[in-house]
Amino acid sequence: MKRAFALLLVAVLLLAAVPAPVAAEETRTGGTVVVEADETVEDDLTIFAGTAVIRGTVEGDLTVFAGNVRVDGEVGGDFDGFAGNVRLNGTVTGDANAVGGNVFLEDGARVGGELEAAAGNVALEGEVGEDARLGAGTVTVASTASVGGDLVYGGDLDLAEGASVGGEVRESDDLEVGVTGPVVPGWLGWAYGVLVNLLLGAVVLLVFPAFSDDLAARAVDDPVRTGGVGLLLFVAVPVALVLLAITIVGIPLSLFGALLYAVALWLGTVYGSFAVGTWLVSLADAGSRWLALVVGVVGVALVGRVPFLGGLVSFLVLLVGLGALALGIRNRYRNRRSARRTGAPTGSDMP
């Protein structure tokens, strides 16, 4: 059974994988992570921290998730920063993407490629080799700033006299900045989502058939209770993760918890769809769990494309599935503990 659980975990991770750049060679976590002035990181670097300071050199790409990040040294590749405050005071050879409460490109700092920033406030004092796309409540461009290409902004612009812009300065109401994925047709993304959910559903039905049937029956018999439990978890878990992340020790635990929460939401969506399919198939006096899986996943996905109604239905399905999953796991482990006390077999296909 433990091998079965391991198989499920591997399958979930494989199904979750989508085409993406190769992962960073090195990852660092902690309350404060510092790349010292005499240090050189030869590969890509990813940082999860309360505060990240780059005084030395990162020869590859640098990706930072932190409360505060400051780059005083040199980044040989691209920079992606997601933080409360992002301050660039050094050199980024490639492109720079920054999302945060405040983003600063200091006087003397340089971004060789494009700069994209989304924040409450963006201050540009240094040099950008190509286009600058800045979306913020307030965009301040100082007299020392230099932009080699276009300056595209969204928000209130304060452009100082003496600032150099090689291209045009224009406002965009629908400015999209930050890290974005490849553009694909909407129907293709929808079909991919249906396929992946069907594959995950097939895995859980094969590995945990009895458990999956119990979850569907629980959701069909008492959707109000399971949906209520799902709503409680949907709201409470993110709050708990944020509170955990406030502590220095809790940052790695909160990141791991966020991963588990994402997997639980995905499983909740699939199990909720399976429950809907089980109910619909039962109306036709059919009892195939595989038919129920296909009907539920495809049906919920089709309804999900209906404006407003689709989003509401998908959310309710998620809550019901998440609640049923939580109640099912709780009851199975209660039964297992009780069986261990009495020495009776559990009859469970859970690990």
pLDDT in tens, 275-327: 999 999 888 876 788 999 999 999 998 988 887 788 888 899 999 999 999 99
Domain boundary among 171, 201, 220: 171
pLDDT score for 35: 94
Q: Decide if 19 is inside a domain.
A: no
What's the pLDDT tens digit per position in 215-247? 999 999 999 999 999 999 988 888 887 777 766
- Considering the domain architecture, whether residues 190 and 167 belong to the same structural domain is answered as no
Between 189 and 130, residue with greater pLDDT: 130
**pTM higher than 0.75:** no
Over residues 37-55, mean pLDDT = 90
- Within this chain, do residues 210 and 328 fall inside the same structural domain, yes or no? yes
pLDDT at position 251? 67
- Domain check: are 151 and 219 in the same one? no
Of 2-16, 97-111, 224-238, the range with the lowest mean pLDDT is 2-16
Residue after which a domain boundary falls, among 113, 144, 171? 171
Contacts by 114-118, CB closer than 8 A, 24 or more apart: 114/149, 116/177, 116/178, 117/86, 117/177, 118/177, 118/178
Spatial separation of the C-alpha atoms in residues 175 and 177, rounded to whole Å = 6
- When pLDDT is averaged across residues 117-124 and rounded to a whole number, the result is 89
Asked whether residue 18 is domain-assigned, the answer is: no
User: What confidence score (pLDDT) does residue 128 get?
Assistant: 96
Q: CB of 350 within 8 A of CB of 335?
A: no
User: Computed over its alpha carbons, how large is the radius of gyration of the chain?
Assistant: 25
As for how many domains the chain has, the answer is: 2
Q: How confident is the model at residue 181 (pLDDT cuts 50, 70, 90)?
A: very low
Residue 132: which of 92, 192, 186 has the closest Cα?
A: 92
Q: Are residues 329 and 215 both part of a single domain?
A: yes
The residues, ordered by sequence, that sit 6+ positions from 37 with a Cβ below 8 Å of its Cβ are 55, 56, 73
Same domain for 154 and 61: yes
Confidence label for 187 from pLDDT (cuts 50, 70 and 90):
low
- What is the DSSP annotation of 165-178? ESS-EEE-TT---S
Whether 92 and 230 share a structural domain? no
Q: Residue 8: inside a domain, yes or no?
A: no
Residues 99 and 140 in one domain: yes
What is the pLDDT, as a whole number, of residue 83?
81
Question: What pLDDT shows up at residue 191?
Answer: 81
| Whole-number Cα distances in Å, 275 to 125, 202, 264 | 56, 14, 16
Q: How far, in Å, are 89, 243, 279, 327 from residue 222 at the CA level?
A: 58, 32, 12, 12
Contact 290, 205 (CB under 8 A): yes
Say if 50 falls within a structural domain.
yes
235 part of a folded domain = yes
Around Cβ 156, how many Cβ atoms within 10 Å? 12
Query: Is the confidence at residue 98, as pLDDT, over 80?
Result: yes
Of the listed ranges 20-24, 59-63, 186-190, 304-308, the least confidently predicted one is 20-24
Predicted confidence band at 19 (pLDDT cuts at 50, 70, 90)?
very low
Residue 200 sits in the same domain as residue 159 = no
Mean pLDDT score of the chain, rounded to an integer? 83
CB 325 within 8 A of CB 272: no
Q: Is residue 258 part of a domain?
A: yes
Asked whether residue 132 carries a pLDDT value surpassing 50, the answer given is yes
* Residues counted in the chain: 351
What confidence tens digit (pLDDT) does each residue in 245-254 have?
766 556 677 7
Estimate the crossing angle of helix 186-207 against helix 250-283, to 10 degrees.
Answer: 90
Give a yes or no: residue 101 inside a domain: yes
**Residue 33 confidence (pLDDT) above 60:** yes
Token reading at 17: 């994988």
Same domain flag for 164 and 217: no
Given a cut of 60, whether residue 1 has pLDDT beyond it is: no
Residues of the domain holding 314: 186-342
Q: Determine the Cα–Cα distance for residues 222 and 227; give it in Å rounded to an integer.
A: 9
Statement to judge: residues 327 and 230 lie in one domain: yes
87/135 same-domain check: yes
**What would you measure as the largest C-alpha separation in the chain, in angstroms?**
83
Tokens of 173: 């109401």
Q: Would you say residue 96 lies in a domain?
A: yes
Both 135 and 244 in one domain: the answer is no
54-94 per-position pLDDT tens digit: 999 999 999 998 888 999 999 999 999 988 889 999 999 99
**Which domain-ending residue is among 116, 146, 171?**
171
For residue 332, the surrounding DSSP H or E stretch is helix 309-342
